[in-house]
Amino acid sequence: MKDVLLSIRDVWVEYGDRIVLEKVNLEISRGSFVSIVGPSGAGKSTFLRLIIGQEAPSRGAIFLNGEPLQPEPGPDRGVVFQRYSVFPHLTALENVAFGLECSGSMFLGRLFGKRRKAALDEAAQMLARVGLSHSLNAYPSQLSGGMQQRLAIAQALVRKPRILLLDEPFGALDPGIRLDMHGLIDELWREHGLTILMVTHDIKEAFKLGDRVLAFDKRRHDPHAPHRFGSSAVYDFPLTEKNRRPPAELLALSGAEPSRAE
Amino acid sequence: MRRLVNIRPGRGGKVFLGAAPLALVAIGYVVASAARQAENPADKLLPPIEAMWSAWIRMSLEVDPVTGSIPLWADTVASLHRLILGLGISTGVTLAFGLVLGLLPVARATLGPLVAAIAVIPPIAVLPVLFIALGLGETAKVALIVIGITPFMVRDLASQVGAIPEEQMVKAQTLGASTWQIALRLALPQAMPKLLKGLRLSLGPAWVFLIAGEAIASDVGLGYRIFLVRRYLAMDVILPYVAWISLLAVLMGLLLSWISRKFFPWDHTRGAE
Ligand SMILES: Nc1ncnc2c1ncn2[C@@H]1O[C@H](COP(=O)(O)OP(=O)(O)OP(=O)(O)O)[C@@H](O)[C@H]1O
Ligand SMILES: [Mg+2]
């Protein structure tokens, strides 16, 4: 019996008469690393937004840990976007401590004295873990793209979310930096027993990091009204250490980009 | 031949290029003034530099026997007092409304149209209303400044706060931040440098409204003085006053940028924005 953390039941997303997702049914087990691929516009980000709680499905339901998902972002779900997920007005240390300060001080959102010191220590440890111990007092605009993503990851992990949602987190990084980030996210996944959902355009990355790969695409096409059919998870590959090669049919999936990393 | 768009002046070149038109204007003035003086020594329109200098000394050093104070300083203190009061009130109102409008869709839906409607009223047109409602005292003049610049500042700040990337708002919520905490720790600090920028842009209009208010009903103030001596065609007083007002405006602008750099360094680092 698998330990199901997230279950998506018969979920549809429609904007007006445009159907983006149709009849998505998925169960995600605790501790898994799910990569999500698919052509541009297939609704991958929309799917992630549903789980973040940024929007609610037009039909269907999502359960987190057996309970209906709050249709609002919350500390049980951490996120890292491709860009803009750190706060430009806070230093690296303050960015990470932000989550601790919010939970520790309802009214001011700031801690003082001993509690502040404890929060900053914890933040500094988290930053050291992602390799940013030399940039504690730098502002995000002073960090490189890769360092900013490290910061965003540290910031997301400090509240110990049940589930970590990544939307093309390494999409804007150089191949070399990407490789470092792959190492980091893989280690963090194992260390913290995280459940990760990662959207990526890079099929190789999806197969390298994930222990399950979902491909979103339309099952049906109407050439005259393409917007009337939505996407759903058309492929669902569980991966073991052995079968880590992307199958040809997936590489051929319309719009899927060839891998850029490595 | 290099394209004109690619030719950039160096440091010295910039100083020279910037100073040249100013020098030309100054020389042009001196020449024109000398020509008019030669024709008519009693000419008031373009007083020579010496005349302006002696007027300046008179206004800034000699006590006026009627009021018992030195005109330039009394005027400056009175005007700056009104201006700073007006700017302060506008800033406070802007901060509150700009944050609320920028952050809360409900507030935007409720108050947006009202603010937009107020913003299209020409402030000078309501000046008589202010004088009738608030009397001819200080309140009306400060109110004119506030009414004149606040709608622009509120809308500017609201759009700046609204432009905080969705990603940041979501991230803050996933870190457990409440609406209040988002306002206090995310929107407020990010709004501050934008607010200072808005304030700097509003300095010009604020001076216009100040001088308009003082010109119509006042007994002291820079605008009052200019419009008072206008009756005697005292250009030798008006021109130095105009220069003084411009200098004050420039200094206030510089002060605001300095504050922004000093307290919000993250908004000025390379790559910010
Ligand atoms: N608020 C909205 N209103 C209308 N249509 C929307 C809205 N949000 C998304 N869409 C549409 O939904 C579709 C899926 O968008 P989504 O961003 O989820 O795709 P994606 O798979 O993440 O694409 P990409 O790989 O380019 O990031 C797109 O066709 C988009 O135009
Ligand atoms: Mg996307």
Amino acid A151: pLDDT: 95
Amino acid B273: pLDDT: 44
What's the Cα-to-Cα distance from A238 to each of A32, A185, A213, rounded to whole Å? 10, 19, 7
Specify if B20 maps to a domain: yes
Cβ of B178 under 8 Å from any chain A Cβ? yes
Name chain B contacts of A77, Cβ cutoff 8 Å. Answer: 174
Specify if B53 maps to a domain: no
Complex ipTM > 0.90? no
Kind of pairing, strands A77-80 and A163-167?
parallel
CB B217 within 8 A of CB B131: yes
- With CA atoms as reference, report the closest residue to A174 among A204, A135, A154, A144: A144
Span B186-243, pLDDT tens digits: 999 999 999 999 999 999 999 999 999 999 888 899 999 999 999 888 999 999 999 9
CB A88 within 8 A of CB A139: yes
Q: Are residue B145 and residue B261 in the same domain, yes or no?
A: yes
Nearest CA to ligand 1 atom 8: A46
Amino acid A147: pLDDT: 92
Alpha-carbon gap, residue B8 to B194, rounded angstroms? 29
Kind of pairing, strands A195-199 and A33-37?
parallel
Above 70 in pLDDT, residue A256? no
Specify if B273 maps to a domain: no
Amino acid A132: pLDDT: 92
Average pLDDT over residues B154-167: 94
Task: Tell if the CB–CB gap between B175 and A84 is shorter than 8 Å.
Answer: no
If you measure CA to CA, which chain A residue comes closest to B168?
A85
CB atoms within 10 A of CB A210: 24
Average pLDDT over residues B101-124: 92
Alpha-carbon gap, residue B212 to B221, rounded angstroms? 11
Least confident of A79-88, A107-116, A117-126, B102-111: A107-116
Determine whether domain A1-76+163-262 maps to CATH 3.40.50.300: yes
C-beta A40 within 6 A of ligand 1: yes
Name chain A contacts of B173, Cβ cutoff 8 Å. Answer: 72-74
Q: Across the interface, which of A83, A103, A141 has its CB nearest the CB of B176? A: A103
Alpha-carbon gap, residue A17 to A15, rounded angstroms? 6
Q: Return all residues near B88 (Cβ < 8 A) that are at least 6 apart.
A: none
At A9, phi and psi to the nearest 5? -115, 110
Alpha-carbon gap, residue B115 to B151, rounded angstroms? 6
Q: Model pTM greater than 0.90?
A: no
Q: Are residue B64 and residue B22 in the same domain, yes or no?
A: no
Amino acid A150: pLDDT: 92
Amino acid B142: pLDDT: 95
Alpha-carbon gap, residue A242 to A214, rounded angstroms? 18
Q: Are residue B154 and residue B208 in the same domain, yes or no?
A: yes
Mind spelling out the 3-state secondary structure of A74-95? CCCEEEECCCCCCCCCCCHHHH
Specify if B54 maps to a domain: no
Span A4-29, pLDDT tens digits: 899 999 999 999 888 899 889 999 99
Average pLDDT over residues A122-140: 92
Span A189-233, pLDDT tens digits: 998 889 999 999 998 899 999 999 999 988 877 777 777 787 877
Q: Are residue B148 and residue B236 in the same domain, yes or no?
A: yes
Q: Are residue B29 and residue B131 in the same domain, yes or no?
A: no
Above 90 in pLDDT, residue A172? no
Q: Are residue B29 and residue B67 in the same domain, yes or no?
A: no
Q: Are residue B154 and residue B84 in the same domain, yes or no?
A: yes
- With CA atoms as reference, report the closest residue to B235 among B51, B84, B66: B51
When divided into structural domains, chain B yields a total of 2
Residue with tokens 């750099």: B261
Amino acid A246: pLDDT: 73
Q: Are residue B190 and residue B151 in the same domain, yes or no?
A: yes
Above 50 in pLDDT, residue B159? yes
B141 vs B1: which has the higher pLDDT: B141
- Length in residues, chain B: 273
pLDDT confidence tier of residue A111, bands split at 50, 70 and 90: confident
Residues in a beta bridge with A114 = none
Amino acid A229: pLDDT: 80
Element (H, E) at A27: strand A18-29
Q: Are residue B38 and residue B119 in the same domain, yes or no?
A: no
Average pLDDT over residues A229-256: 71
Least confident of A101-110, A143-152, A203-212, B65-74: A101-110
If you measure CA to CA, which chain A residue comes closest to B191?
A89
Above 80 in pLDDT, residue A250? no
Amino acid A252: pLDDT: 65
* Structural domain span for residue B221: 59-267
Q: Are residue B40 and residue B171 in the same domain, yes or no?
A: no
CB B87 within 8 A of CB B199: yes
Element (H, E) at A6: strand A4-15
Amino acid B137: pLDDT: 87
Amino acid B214: pLDDT: 93
Cβ of B171 under 8 Å from any chain A Cβ? yes
Above 90 in pLDDT, residue B147? yes
Span B37-72, pLDDT tens digits: 999 888 888 999 999 999 999 999 999 888 889 999
Question: Alpha helix locations (H) across A8-144?
Answer: 44-52, 92-104, 113-129
Contacting B with CB below 8 Å, chain A residues are 52, 54, 72-75, 77-79, 81, 83-90, 98-99, 101-103, 106-110, 139-142, 152, 155-156, 158-159, 161
Element (H, E) at A15: strand A4-15
Name chain A contacts of B270, Cβ cutoff 8 Å. Answer: 141-142
Amino acid A239: pLDDT: 79
pLDDT confidence tier of residue A254, bands split at 50, 70 and 90: very low
Task: Tell if the CB–CB gap between A52 and B174 is shorter than 8 Å.
Answer: yes
C-beta A43 within 6 A of ligand 1: yes
Span A28-70, pLDDT tens digits: 999 999 999 999 988 999 999 999 999 999 999 999 988 999 8
pLDDT confidence tier of residue B270, bands split at 50, 70 and 90: low
Above 80 in pLDDT, residue B257? yes
Give ranges for CATH 3.40.50.300 in chain A: 1-76+163-262
Specify if B272 maps to a domain: no
Q: Are residue B128 and residue B14 in the same domain, yes or no?
A: no
pLDDT confidence tier of residue A245, bands split at 50, 70 and 90: confident
Torsion angle of the four alpha carbons B141, B143, B148, B151, in this order, in degrees rounded to the nearest 10: 170
Amino acid A258: pLDDT: 44
In percent, how much of chain A has pLDDT > 70? 93
pLDDT confidence tier of residue A242, bands split at 50, 70 and 90: low
Amino acid A260: pLDDT: 39
CB atoms within 10 A of CB A91: 18
Amino acid A1: pLDDT: 47
Q: Across the interface, which of A79, A90, A102 has its CB nearest the CB of B176? A: A102
